[in-house]
Amino acid sequence: MTKPNFQEMTHKELIAYILEHRDENEAFRVLMDRAHADTDAELHPAPQSIDDLKHFPELLEKRRQQRKADS
């Protein structure tokens, strides 16, 4: 059996492959390299308190709405 070419896989294909082959470190590395190189990736600050953590879904939705309004 030949090894898949992870570089040629789409993002969705790569994630599906990783979910089916959780011990495949090379595929995971390719996914992380792509995430690191993605300049359009949406980054969120880590919660700073228990209250932040409790309200994270609302904070995330608020941020998404702000981004939608800005674009």
Positions in the chain whose pLDDT score sits under 50: none
Angle (nearest 5°) at CA 70 between 11 and 36: 30
Report residue 70 as tokens: 């800005």
| 68: helix, strand or coil | helix
pLDDT in tens, 32-42: 998 888 777 66
Q: Which two tokens stand for residue 35?
A: 């995430």
Residue for token pair 């608020």? 62
Q: What is the pTM of this model?
A: 0.54
Q: Name the one residue in this structure whose structure tokens are 């904070």.
A: 59
Domain map (residue ranges) of the chain: 1-40, 43-71
Residues with Cβ within 8 Å of 47's Cβ and at least 6 positions away in sequence, in order, are 53, 56
